[in-house]
Amino acid sequence: MTVPAVPRPAATSSGQLWWWLPRVSILLLVSGIFALFWYLQRSDREEQRATLISDMLWLEQSLRFVLDHNEDLLGRFDPQRIARRETFEAHAAPLVTSNSGVIQVLWLAPSGEKLDAYPPVADAPSVASPATGAATQRLAGSVAHAVYGPPYPVGSDWQFDVLVPVFRSGELAGIAVGVYSIRRLLADTVPWWIAERYRIAIVDQSGQRLGQRSNIAELETDNDYQMPFDPPGHGLILHATPYRSATPMAGRVIMTGLAFLAALVLFSLWTLRRHVQGRLAAESALQNEVAFRKAMEDSVQTGLRARNLDGRITYVNPAFCRMVGFSPEELIGRLPPMPYWAEEYLDETRAMHAKVLAGEAPSEGFEIKLKRRNGEIFDALIIEAPLIDSQGRHTGWMGSVVDITERKRVAELARQQEERLQASARLITMGEMASSLAHELNQPLAAISSYATGCRNLIAAGAPQSEIDGAIAKCQQQAQRAGRIIRRIYEFVRRQEPKSEPCDIGILLADLVTLLESEARRQRVRLQRDIAPDLPILQADRILLGQAILNLMKNGIDAMSQTDEAARQLTLRAALHDGQVLISVADRGCGIEPETAAQLFEPFYTTKQEGLGVGLKICRSVVEAHHGRLWFEANPAGGTIFHIALPLPAT
């Protein structure tokens, strides 16, 4: 292939755009979705964190409130009244039982000596309280308000003490101690809804967990929060770790769904792309194919014409348009009668059309006469084939049309030439025969004439009889020779006796008209035929009779060479009349003068320059051989009419 693939810039750039746009947008969409998720997660976490912080603040607040409340209660201990055991219990019991984390209340003397405890130390599981530590007691006595002691382990639990100095009339009257169990404190004070969400722990400075309230849920350790737990202080830290929330379950489902959908979208896009690529490849193949076919049908010289089942034209190719001279717009969609049908042959064309639509058209094609736009009639060979669509349905007929006018004309010309050749060969034979006969006859006649003249000369000179006798004998011999020649002519003519075969006069005359059409056109003579349709079939020599009538017609055409062109008309009539077939050839020529008329049928009489003068004689012989009659009369319109009357067969 030498055709360079010229890239079309516009198409390529738009194609690139076409290819890049979906990819980029898909990428953007996916990253947008991820960004959205990231943002949502982040804001979710921030919100969680905010909640956590506020929850912690609230928790710390409520812890402080509990501690402060207990402090306050402890501070209201009346040293005189609690000296009695019942009174102390009445004071201390609400503290221990009020679920505020206090597991034991102690009453210390200002000196630090333990005066009382509720519940009693022996009862209390873990009251080995060092809260009574001297330093703390001194500190509480000196600062004159509640002091918290450092945590200390008791079994698996950790405890811390709050020492509240009680003053009476400005004098330290004693120290009320509340022993807090961290576990108990957490259990009592952390509300369930916080415990649900976070693991709350109290951690000391070294990071050791002193107590916690926890579920067996997974922790979200990266999002914990801690704040100093003061009071009691001593470096204690309130530590909250949220549980990995089960709440994002719906979000996860949605996310998974989205991811799945995105994957699905990508997959479908990928499939779509493959499909589109396949389509594009197919399309380009199809385009190539279409271009190929288009080039083929444009270059082909055969006319193509498709019709649907109703006979409506659905397609014509350029060759067909050229052939008939109509444009595709004028033809497509037309129903019969088509503009290219010849009115003269409308019935035949219509019949053939119906046959084609019925599927009865001959598969080897048929010949038909069509008309070009300029009115010219031409012969076409049409081959019809059924049109089958991709679903296998029969949708119409495709006809290939070949203009065979030229082919037919050439064939016709060849035939005419052949006929003419035959005719002239016949004439030449006739002429040669006549000429050679004349020569041959001349020899004995010249001899006879010579002898006879010589005899007369001798007789006049008085010569003896004996001399004359010999010459007369030779005269006889020559006369016999002449007779033999005449017999030979007769035999020659006998050999050409006409055949007798069935002959359709109508067809014969139609053939003759066709044969003479071109000659008539050349001489600008209009041929008119008036041939009765019911002519019978005669027993005749078709060729001889045809030649005779053709000869008359040619004579008629030749006779009009001097006639005004407008008046040149040759009429061929044939009709059944009185038990005879009457054929007449009427010309509008110069007519026949009376003196010529007498000699017209004489052999070797001619008025033509190049004629031999045997034509009419032969015509008459042929007609007479068919038991007919040939005669002529003046044409009332000017010219001559030759008549041939042929009898019908006896049956």
Partner 1 sequence: MTTPGMAYLVDDDAALRDAIPWLLRSRGIPCRAWESAEAFLADYNDEMSGCLILDLRMSGMTGSELHERLLERGCAMPVIFLTGHGDVPLAVKALKRGAFDFIEKPFNDNELVDRVHEALQHEKNRRWQDGMKAAVMERLATLTEREREVMERILAGKLNKVIADELSIAMRTVEVHRAHIFEKMGVRSAVELAQRLSLLGPPGSR
Which residues of this chain interact with partner 1, rule CB under 8 A?
A: 435, 438-439, 442-451, 453-458, 461, 463, 471, 474, 477-478, 481
CB 181 within 8 A of CB 156: no
DSSP label of 415? H
- Measured in degrees and rounded to the nearest 5, phi and psi for residue 440 equal -65, -40
Q: How many CB atoms lie within 10 A of CB 651?
A: 4
CB of 548: closest distance to partner 1 in angstroms?
25
User: In this structure, what token pair is assigned to residue 366?
Assistant: 């048929």
528/525 Cα distance (integer angstroms)? 9
CB of 497 to partner 1, least distance (A): 27
- Helix axis angle for 9-75 and 249-299, nearest 10°, is 180
Comparing CA positions, the residue from 603, 615, 633 lying closest to residue 554 is: 615
Whole-number minimum distance, CB 632 to partner 1, in Å?
27
Task: Pick between residue 474 and residue 573 the one whose CB is nearest to partner 1.
Answer: 474
| Minimal distance, residue 446 CB to partner 1, in Å | 4
> Which CB, 26 or 458, lies closer to partner 1?
458
Choice between 356 and 475, CB closer to partner 1: 475
Residues forming a β-bridge with 126: none
Q: Which residues are bridge partners to 577 per DSSP?
A: 580
Which run of H or of E encompasses 614?
Answer: none
Q: In the complex with partner 1, which residue's Cβ is closer, 131 or 612?
A: 612
H or E segment and range at residue 122: none
Rg, Å, the chain Cα set? 70
Query: Would you say 382 or 448 has its CB closer to partner 1?
Result: 448
Shortest Å, Cβ 409 to partner 1: 38
3 state DSSP class of 589: coil
Q: Where are the beta strands (DSSP E) in 559-613?
A: 569-577, 580-586
Closest contact distance (angstroms) between CB of 435 and partner 1 is 5
The minimum distance between CB 348 and partner 1, in angstroms, equals 52
Least Å from the CB of residue 475 to partner 1? 9
Tokens matching residue 579 = 């038990």
Determine the Cα–Cα distance for residues 195 and 241; give it in Å rounded to an integer.
Answer: 10
Minimum CB distance to partner 1 smaller for 418 or for 467:
467
Residue number, 142 or 477, with CB nearest to partner 1 = 477
Whichever of 552 and 612 has its CB closer to partner 1, that residue is 612
Residue 180 vs 451, nearer CB to partner 1 = 451
Cβ proximity to partner 1: between 178 and 444 the closer is 444
- Long-range contacts of 16-20, Cβ-Cβ distance < 8 Å, separation of 24 or more: none
Instruction: Compare residues 144 and 428 and give the one whose CB is closer to partner 1.
Output: 428
At its nearest, how many Å lie between partner 1 and the CB of residue 451?
5
CB atoms within 10 A of CB 506: 16
Q: How far apart are the C-alpha atoms of 128 and 161, rounded to whole Å? A: 11
CB atoms within 10 A of CB 192: 8
Nearest Cα to 568, choosing from 527, 522, 536? 527
CB-based contacts of 160, cutoff 8 Å, min separation 6: 131, 148, 149, 150, 151, 152, 179, 180, 182, 232, 234, 236
Smallest gap from Cβ 480 to partner 1, in A, equals 11
What is the closest distance, in whole angstroms, from the C-beta atom of residue 458 to partner 1 in the complex? 5
